């Protein structure tokens, strides 16, 4: 209980407003994985620290302890394993390589700027010579940096996930509403669900190469191949969960719909989707998780310039910094996967009545 | 509003004349005005992660491609097959290629396509490495010098007892090389044959290259060789740098010989383009050749003074990516054999000296003779055939034209190029077994080699059949 008796009235009012704001935002912050901020904010706002300690212990102290213990174990055990690429790097080397990758990125951007400056100069010279029709504008041909590769991976997984959602959700709704349709679709789903992305890849490569002839710059072939592979593996969770969600609508609601003689589109939008939404979102979350994992393997094989290709290239290079860089990539993949999951969870909380699933 | 033309004031009448004079002056000095009118300026070249892709990397990084008005993307390829397919299908405009690839493609061995080359990228640069276990077995058979170090060059005769031991135990002796028509394959076979070991034959039905073999050769992509050696799948390999020094660095193998010791100053890689590209884009081809000649010159300039900078560029992950110290060894003229046994090999990589960049017909003919020797060319061919194929693939005319343009621009010396060459080098006996090679007499040469098909021989089933 705040020592409200010890503060003046206007301060007390401000403090009340602050607390209600913090409480409102608590749901959002915990959705974003920042739940440990809430007790800290409350303490900063003047709440009794001893009360908040309990919450702080659970949401901040123990996780930090866990991470610290892991780092310690890593730092002690890693140098004891000698591979032909050197000892397994500890946290210090991995941190060093993160810095190195950032420096590479900055250096490459600088080279790009210099290239464009040179091009501008050359073209200005040509114009001054009166050769304005010899002027050429060409884009920079340097390598994609680590950050470019992260963006490419996100783009690819986004595209794959989007296609999967567009296919899976309508099929799932139809499957949930109509038993015959479900009966027809089910064997196919069960057959294709366990297939690994690596098995799909050669077929997808052949098909995309045959059909997607004029590759645009924004969606090169390798990107489309990786995205389609992601789709093929991540569409099953969405499909199954949507079908389940739609099939398990409360029978009373369905009866109400029949009594009111609602048309099918209205039934779907007003009745089916809102009540199936929690399970649909669960399916989407699982799909995105699976898709992100599959993406890395698909990129390695399709040579799409994202994180998967980065890991593969570093392994092929076999330099003494390769293992550390691969670990940086592993951690990046983990962090991005975590953030993507949190984003989906936040969306889910926003769109459904219960954020518990 | 009506437009009225202003009467030209007197000074303005001279303006066009002055502009013309100024342009004329600028044309003789500005490098932008010396640029060829290229047909295609956005190009994509493929390469494999080997030290000798250096001319491509240097031409890009030092702006030589840009000086010629070319905007080049350099793309590493997974292996030699993917690279060749890329050039044939047009996905790549040109590539760093094994000297044998344009020849094999043109004669139809493997995917058929008419590939030409106007530029030889380097001489030497390969080595043969064996695993630690095999090295220990070889050592008792080696001749040692006063300091207890092996006398070089090490002949494959020292390997022969080891293979016999393996054979007695029923184990196959496996060696890796990078591609069926690669220089490494032919150099490895040359070395083995000179030591009395049969490296196997090819036949039209069986392209494994292991017919009647004492040692079994198979294909492994260069970056995967150290890992394959470590895993024990192969007992040794022939590959370009940095993969021999990498094995020493990681303590998984010992290089036994460099190709400099097998054939002094042998041709290695070329820059390959499709014949169609060369025909449709003559100016672009000249521009590319010019940029590459300049890069090669920079690499060998001032007695290899720039090599350290080249090593720094090559160690970047988008080029070769191996550690700088591993690349530096061979690029700066030293080569480590057994750990601690470092020898001076100043010409381990030659990019410009000894007319290294001239695409000699005699180089092409040597590869063709080796293809015949091991059965990849299954029938005898007259000497004129060898000459014709060499002339259809190697294009010294384009090379000399590019060189002439560079001499006029003042960036290279006239003396750096063999303007009057017939395209055939002088006969040479600088091979490990002392056999003389005369490019103008290919059939006589084939008959003078120890192990290998001779005139009239062919491979039928699992045996070599003589014509008589």
pLDDT-based confidence at A82, cuts 50/70/90?
Answer: confident
Listed in sequence order, the residues at least 6 apart from B244 whose beta carbon sits closer than 8 Å to its beta carbon are B126, B127, B128, B129, B253, B255, B258, B330, B335
Whether A313 sits inside 8 A of B32 (CB atoms) is no
Whether B33 sits inside 8 A of A129 (CB atoms) is yes
Is residue B450 within 8 A of residue B193, CB to CB? The reply is: yes
CB burial class (10 A; 0-12, 13-18, 19+) of residue A36? middle
Q: What is the CA radius of gyration of chain B?
A: 25
Residues of chain B contacting A129 with CB distance shorter than 8 Å? 23, 26, 33
Q: How many CB atoms lie within 10 A of CB B403?
A: 22
What's the CA gap between B30 and B151, in Å, rounded? 55
Is residue B241 within 8 A of residue B126, CB to CB? The reply is: yes
Q: Which of A203-207, A302-306, B14-18 has the lowest mean pLDDT?
A: B14-18
Q: Is the pLDDT of residue A195 over 70?
A: yes
User: Chain A contact for B339, CB < 8 A?
Assistant: no
3-state DSSP assignment of residue B154: coil
Cα separation of the two ends of chain A: 32
How is B275-313 classified by DSSP, letter by letter? HHHHHH-HHHHHHHHHHHHHHHHHHHHHHHTTHHHHHHH
CA distances from B201 to A325, B128, B259, B368 (A): 43, 20, 21, 15
CA A335 to chain B, closest CA, distance in angstroms equals 24
Is residue A308 within 8 A of residue A153, CB to CB? The reply is: yes
3-state DSSP assignment of residue B335: strand
Counting residues of chain A whose pLDDT is more than 70, the rounded percentage is 95
What's the CA gap between A273 and A287, in Å, rounded? 18
Whether A317 sits inside 8 A of B230 (CB atoms) is no
**Locate tokens 């392994």: which residue?**
A315
pLDDT-based confidence at A2, cuts 50/70/90?
Answer: low
> Which of A138, A318, A322 is closest, CB to CB, to B42?
A138
At A302 the pLDDT is 85
> Which of B32, B66, B323 is closest, CB to CB, to A320?
B323
Alpha-helical runs (H) found in chain A: 9-31, 37-44, 49-56, 62-77, 91-128, 146-177, 179-192, 197-211, 221-247, 251-259, 264-266, 273-302, 307-317, 322-351
- For residues A88-110, average pLDDT: 92
3-state DSSP assignment of residue B95: strand
Task: For an interface test with A, give the residue of B28, B65, B86, B323 to mutate (most A CBs within 10 A).
Answer: B323
User: Chain B contact for A313, CB < 8 A?
Assistant: yes
What's the CA gap between A27 and A353, in Å, rounded? 13
H or E element at residue A82: strand A82-83
Listed in sequence order, the residues at least 6 apart from B342 whose beta carbon sits closer than 8 Å to its beta carbon are B329, B334, B335, B336
**pTM of the complete model:** 0.80
Q: Is the pLDDT of residue A357 over 50?
A: no
Q: How many CB atoms lie within 10 A of CB A288?
A: 25
Token representation of residue B61 = 């990084």
Q: Phi then psi for B450, rounded to 5 degrees? A: -60, -100
CA B218 to chain A, closest CA, distance in angstroms equals 20
Listed in sequence order, the residues at least 6 apart from A347 whose beta carbon sits closer than 8 Å to its beta carbon are A281
Q: Is the pLDDT of residue A5 over 60?
A: no
Q: What is the length of chain A?
A: 357
Looking at domain B126-264, its CATH architecture is 3-Layer(aba) Sandwich (3.40)
| β-pair partners for B460 | B463
pLDDT-based confidence at A182, cuts 50/70/90?
Answer: very high
What's the CA gap between A85 and A87, in Å, rounded? 7
Between B61 and A273, the higher pLDDT residue: B61
H or E element at residue B45: strand B42-47
CATH 3.40.190.10 domain locations along chain B: 42-123+267-446, 126-264
Q: Which homologous superfamily does the CATH classification assign to the domain defined by B42-123+267-446? A: Periplasmic binding protein-like II (3.40.190.10)
H or E element at residue B219: strand B216-219
At A327 the pLDDT is 93
At B290 the pLDDT is 95
3-state DSSP assignment of residue A109: helix
Closest CA to B401 of B277, B259, B293, B314: B293
At B2 the pLDDT is 42
On the CB side of A43, how many CA atoms lie within 13 Å of its CA?
13
Q: Which of A65-74, A189-198, B28-37 has the lowest mean pLDDT?
A: B28-37
On the CB side of B324, how many CA atoms lie within 13 Å of its CA?
8
3-state DSSP assignment of residue A147: helix
pLDDT < 70 regions, chain B: 1-34, 468
Token representation of residue A343 = 């984003």
| β-pair partners for A86 | A83
Q: Is the pLDDT of residue A350 over 80?
A: no
Residues of chain B contacting A84 with CB distance shorter than 8 Å? 226-227, 230, 250-252
Whether A317 sits inside 8 A of B317 (CB atoms) is yes
């Amino acid at each position: 209980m705040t020592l409200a008796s010890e503060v003046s009235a206007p301060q007390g009012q401000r403090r009340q407003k602050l607390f209600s704001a913090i409480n409102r935002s608590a749901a959002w912050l915990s959705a974003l994985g920042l739940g440990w901020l809430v007790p800290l904010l409350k303490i900063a706002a003047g709440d009794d620290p001893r009360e908040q300690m309990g919450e702080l212990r659970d949401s901040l102290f123990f996780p930090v302890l866990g991470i610290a213990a892991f780092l310690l174990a890593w730092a002690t055990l890693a140098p004891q394993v000698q591979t032909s690429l050197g000892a397994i790097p500890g946290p210090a080397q991995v941190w060093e390589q993160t810095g190195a990758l950032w420096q590479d990125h900055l250096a490459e951007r600088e080279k790009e700027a210099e290239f464009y400056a040179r091009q501008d100069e050359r073209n200005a010279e040509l114009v001054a010579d009166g050769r304005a029709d010899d002027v050429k504008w060409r884009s920079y041909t340097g390598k994609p940096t680590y950050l470019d590769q992260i963006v490419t991976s996100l783009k690819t997984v986004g595209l794959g996930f989007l296609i999967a959602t567009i296919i899976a959700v309508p099929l799932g709704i139809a499957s949930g509403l109509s038993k015959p349709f479900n009966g027809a679709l089910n064997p196919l789903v069960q057959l294709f669900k366990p297939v690994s992305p690596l098995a799909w890849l050669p077929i997808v490569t052949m098909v995309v190469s045959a059909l997607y002839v004029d590759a645009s710059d924004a969606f090169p072939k390798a990107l489309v191949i990786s995205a389609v592979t992601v789709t093929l593996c991540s569409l099953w969770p969405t499909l199954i969960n949507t079908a389940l969600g739609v099939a398990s609508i409360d029978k009373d609601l369905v009866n109400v719909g029949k009594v009111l003689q609602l048309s099918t589109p209205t039934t779907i939008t007003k009745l089916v989707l809102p009540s199936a939404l929690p399970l649909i979102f669960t399916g989407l979350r699982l799909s995105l998780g699976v898709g992100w994992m599959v993406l890395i393997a698909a990129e390695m094989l399709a040579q799409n310039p994202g994180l998967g290709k980065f890991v593969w290239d570093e392994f092929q290079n076999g330099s003494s910094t390769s293992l550390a860089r691969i670990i940086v990539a592993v951690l990046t993949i983990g962090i991005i996967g975590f953030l993507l999951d949190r984003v989906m969870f936040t969306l889910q909380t926003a769109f459904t009545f219960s954020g518990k699933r | 509003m009506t437009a009225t033309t202003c009467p030209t004031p007197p000074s303005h009448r001279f303006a066009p004349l002055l502009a013309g004079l100024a342009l004329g002056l600028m044309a003789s000095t500005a490098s932008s005005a010396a640029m060829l009118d290229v047909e295609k300026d956005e190009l994509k070249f493929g390469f494999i992660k080997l030290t000798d892709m250096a001319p491509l990397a240097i031409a890009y990084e030092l702006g030589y491609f840009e000086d010629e008005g070319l905007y080049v993307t350099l793309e590493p390829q997974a292996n030699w097959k993917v690279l060749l397919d890329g050039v044939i299908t047009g996905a790549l405009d040109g590539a760093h290629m094994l000297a044998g690839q344009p020849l094999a493609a043109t004669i139809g061995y493997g995917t058929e396509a008419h590939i030409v080359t106007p530029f030889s990228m380097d001489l030497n640069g390969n080595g043969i490495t064996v695993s630690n276990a095999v090295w220990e077995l070889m050592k008792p058979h080696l001749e040692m010098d006063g300091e207890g170090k092996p006398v070089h060059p090490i002949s494959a005769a020292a390997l022969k007892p080891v293979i016999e031991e393996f054979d007695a135990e029923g184990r196959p002796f496996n060696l890796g090389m990078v591609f069926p028509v690669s220089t490494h394959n032919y150099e490895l076979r040359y070395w083995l044959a000179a030591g009395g070991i049969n490296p196997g034959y090819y036949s039209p039905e069986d392209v494994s290259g292991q017919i009647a073999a004492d040692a079994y050769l198979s294909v492994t992509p260069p970056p995967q060789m150290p890992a394959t050696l470590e895993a024990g799948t192969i007992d040794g390999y022939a590959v370009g740098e940095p993969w021999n020094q990498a094995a020493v660095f990681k303590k998984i193998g010992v290089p036994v010989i460099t190709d400099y010791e097998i054939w002094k100053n042998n041709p290695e890689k070329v820059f390959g383009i499709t014949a169609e590209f060369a025909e449709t884009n003559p100016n672009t081809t000249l521009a590319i050749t010019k940029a590459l000649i300049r890069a090669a010159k920079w690499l060998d300039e001032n007695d290899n003074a720039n090599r350290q900078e080249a090593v720094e560029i090559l160690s970047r992950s988008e080029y070769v990516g191996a550690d700088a110290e591993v690349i530096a060894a061979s690029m700066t003229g030293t080569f480590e054999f057994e750990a601690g046994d470092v020898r001076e090999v100043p010409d381990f990589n030659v990019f410009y000296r000894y007319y290294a960049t001239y695409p000699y017909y005699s180089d092409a003919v040597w590869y063709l003779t080796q293809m015949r020797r091991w059965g990849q060319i299954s029938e005898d061919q007259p000497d004129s055939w060898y000459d014709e194929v060499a002339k259809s693939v190697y294009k010294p005319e384009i090379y000399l034209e590019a060189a002439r343009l560079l001499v006029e621009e003042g960036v290279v010396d006239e003396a750096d190029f063999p303007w009057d060459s017939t395209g055939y080098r002088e006969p040479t006996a600088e091979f490990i077994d002392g056999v003389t090679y005369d490019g103008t007499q290919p059939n006589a040469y084939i008959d003078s080699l120890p192990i290998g098909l001779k005139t009239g021989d062919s491979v039928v089933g699992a045996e070599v059949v003589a014509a008589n």
